[in-house]
């Protein structure tokens, strides 16, 4: 699922629960970083579609990269979007960046392992994928969509209550 918006659904729910202790932008960046390798394979036709990047070892390395680069990219993005003003800019704490990136990469591997037979979660230890098919692809997509809707409802409800008090 290169660059699919479905991965963002669970991230929106996590954002709703953790609020300022989670960066949805770093999470989203981690989703993009995870799918660079599959995109390369799709474009060139060479390599293993869900290769090393879709293992826990690969996801760990990509989480570190995503946290280090995503913190700064997200802060710039928040300024560009007008959410953060230069004189009163939003700073993403390092631990929030790392938490968001790790949740992003690990959730990506889990979601993709449910629907893609070539995901090898525990490579190089084993090529087994015991999560494959535990639910249907349709159910997986529904889970992602519903988690986005529930997350958005919770997030904006909390924001509304905070503004009222």
79 lies in which domain range? 5-164
Cα-based distances in Å from 26 to 30, 67, 140: 6, 7, 23
Residue pair 16/151 in contact by the 8 Å Cβ criterion:
yes
pTM: 0.92
Q: For 98-153, what is each residue's pLDDT tens digit?
A: 999 999 999 999 999 999 999 999 888 888 999 999 999 999 999 999 999 999 99
The two structure tokens encoding residue 93: 């704490």
Residue 122 sits at φ, ψ, to 5 deg, of -105, 20
Q: For 56-87, what is each residue's pLDDT tens digit?
A: 999 999 999 999 999 999 999 988 888 766 66
What is the count of structural domains for the chain?
1
Residue pair 3/39 in contact by the 8 Å Cβ criterion:
yes
Gap between the Cα atoms of 96 and 4, Å rounded: 23
Gap between the Cα atoms of 22 and 98, Å rounded: 9
The two structure tokens encoding residue 129: 């994928």
């Amino acid at each position: 699922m290169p660059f699919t918006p479905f991965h963002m659904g669970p991230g929106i729910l996590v954002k709703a629960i953790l609020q300022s202790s989670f960066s949805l932008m770093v999470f989203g960046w981690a989703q993009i970083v995870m799918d660079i390798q599959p995109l390369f394979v799709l474009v060139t036709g060479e390599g293993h579609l869900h290769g090393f990047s879709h293992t826990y070892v690969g996801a760990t390395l990509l989480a570190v990269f995503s946290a280090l680069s995503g913190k700064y990219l997200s802060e710039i993005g928040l300024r560009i979007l007008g959410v953060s003003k230069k004189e009163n800019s939003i700073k993403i704490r390092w631990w929030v960046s790392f938490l968001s990136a790790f949740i992003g990469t690990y959730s990506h591997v889990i979601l993709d392992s449910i629907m893609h037979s070539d995901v090898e979660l525990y490579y190089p230890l084993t090529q087994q994928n015991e999560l494959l098919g535990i639910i249907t692809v349709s159910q997986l997509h529904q889970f992602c969509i519903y988690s986005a809707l529930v997350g958005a409802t919770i997030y904006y409800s909390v924001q509304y209550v905070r503004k009222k008090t």
